[in-house]
Amino acid sequence: MAVFNNTDDLVKHVITKTWNNGVSYTPKELGFPNNTPNASKKKTEANSLFAVKITDTDRREKYERGIGGAIVDKIIDDALKNGFTINIISTPEEPEKALTKTLTRVYKEKIELELGKALKWARLYGYNFLLMGRKDGQDLSTSLSNRSAKVEYIKAIPRNWITEIVYRKDEAGYRVIPEEVEKVNLNPGIFGKNTVIHASRLMMIVNPGLEEDYITGSPNDTIGCSVLDRPFNVISVIDHMLWSAGQTMWRVGGGLLGLDLPPDATPEDRDAALDSLGDINAKTVLAFPDGYKANVLNTASAVLNPAPYFESAIVQLAGVTEYPKSILYGLATGAVTGSQLDRSTYYSKVVVKQNWISNFLVELLKGFTNGDLKNEWELTWNSPYELTEKEKLEIKKIQSEIDYNRVNSYTETPDEIRTRDGRPELTQEQLTLLKLVQTKGKEGTMSGAANGSREPREAPSTIVHQSLNLI
């Protein structure tokens, strides 16, 4: 712990670190209270916490640290996690198990990894190009003439691979409307001479946005909209509050640092010490010259309670993302927590995201299986909804009661139910035993009704069953 013998040393210490390598503090490290929350067109750490222009570097930083990564990734992971089923269009009410198995294998082996990256990059940066490697024997820079050529591989193009996005122009050299990407130039430092990919060999995935800025052709153009742009300032505030609150609590135990000055302190020492107090909490605990004693003014600890500020920030964050507040708390651990209403709201957004993904996934599946499939088919997503164990047991109970009543009313046989659930058919011995149990059950019910000893149990309404399936 440093000890200061003069004013100059004290002031110098206030603006530098006292641990590690003594690197000077920047305003960002200084924390939220010491930055002005005013946006400036030219971002400088010296005068502003916020910036009008958000760069890809800024987005990447938020993604890699803190809650930004979860905001980008979680909804995509939940949309894809439970897979899909395939229906033949001529018989849509009956999922085609064999075709579902085949296309699921294609998805897992050839599509899942790269499509997942492309979707997340599109959410992070606003757009992404997915290269579809076709088996047509032509160079990637040439236009795709054989649209029926089978896809051999796909590759999500990282942002730093692209040096220019070239748009189609008219004879006079002006860009046509609507704008149309003609080709993408890749970094020659990575790929040498083979630096061009024709747009017909690319799938462009765009996260929708207003896109009002002029598009220059730079890979940094604002095509689409990053999901981190609207909540960017809120996330910045949370980051700075976390740092500042942590520094304050760790260094001074939740209170403000005060000074007991010795009676013989010089006016210069007093002024320097008092002037430094505004910065101490966000920087370091100081050791003053002999006779000075640091103390904690615990009466101010209530004023420094950061919880209400964090709560307000989370409420704002929920308002500009696709996650309810209680879900945001769960993102820190990768869990979906919160009330039933919040989870239902969240998963309704996941279903919307699944429909968005379908446009790309169906095209990719058709590309990988081109010529192999004879029937027209469609893709249906399995429900992304995560049930609690209690809810799962309740649904099983209701389904069992519905099945029991259907069997007793001869609208369904036990074998039909078992086939639906993917279980083997009953043996003849099991069927005989089941009929015996059903007969005894009916006799008991009739006897009970005649004696008035009990009332027959009503089957739960179909509406209850449907509502649980639709969540």
Angle at 49 between CA 44 and CA 55, to 5 degrees: 65
In sequence order, what are the residues at sequence separation of 6 or more whose Cβ sits closer than 8 angstroms to the Cβ of residue 211? 222, 223, 224, 225
Q: How high is the pLDDT of residue 375?
A: 72
In sequence order, what are the residues at sequence separation of 6 or more whose Cβ sits closer than 8 angstroms to the Cβ of residue 19? 284
Whether residue 54 contacts residue 43, with contact meaning beta carbons closer than 8 Å, is answered with no
Compute the distance between CA of residue 436 and CA of residue 439 in angstroms, rounded to an integer. Answer: 5
- pLDDT per 10-residue tile (average), the chain, 471 residues: 56 44 39 48 55 83 86 91 86 78 92 95 94 90 88 93 89 86 87 83 89 62 84 83 61 56 81 68 47 53 64 85 79 57 80 93 91 80 74 67 66 69 72 65 48 40 31 33
Compute the distance between CA of residue 417 and CA of residue 38 in angstroms, rounded to an integer. Answer: 64
Indicate the residue type of 40. S
- DSSP for 360-428, please give it: HHHHHHHHHTTTT--S-EEEEEPP-PPPPHHHHHHHHHHHHHHHHHHHHTTSS-HHHHHHHTT-PPPPH
Give the start-to-end residue ranges of the domains of the chain. Answer: 1-53+231-320, 389-470
| DSSP H stretches of helix in 107-257 | 112-125, 188-191, 232-252
- DSSP for 30-59, please give it: H-GGGS----BSS--TTT-S-BSSPPHHHH
Whole-number Cα distances in Å, 253 to 24, 304, 444:
24, 11, 72
| DSSP H stretches of helix in 321-388 | 325-331, 340-368
- 3-state secondary structure at position 92: coil
DSSP letter (8 states) at residue 338: S
Whether residue 120 contacts residue 130, with contact meaning beta carbons closer than 8 Å, is answered with no
Q: In which residue are the tokens 């103390």 written?
A: 295
Compute the distance between CA of residue 282 and CA of residue 29 in angstroms, rounded to an integer. Answer: 8
Compute the distance between CA of residue 363 and CA of residue 292 in angstroms, rounded to an integer. Answer: 73
Whether residue 207 contacts residue 118, with contact meaning beta carbons closer than 8 Å, is answered with no
- Gyration radius from the chain CA atoms: 32
- Residue 227: CB atoms within 10 A of its CB come to 25
pTM: 0.64
Compute the distance between CA of residue 222 and CA of residue 341 in angstroms, rounded to an integer. Answer: 35
DSSP letter (8 states) at residue 172: T
Cα 333 from chain centre: 13
DSSP letter (8 states) at residue 95: B
Taking the CA atoms of 251, 256, 257 and 260 in sequence, report the sign of the dihedral they define.
negative
Name the maximum alpha-carbon separation found in the chain. Answer: 104
Q: How high is the pLDDT of residue 53?
A: 79
**What phi-psi label fits residue 334: left (phi over 0), alpha (psi between -120 and 50 degrees) or beta?**
left
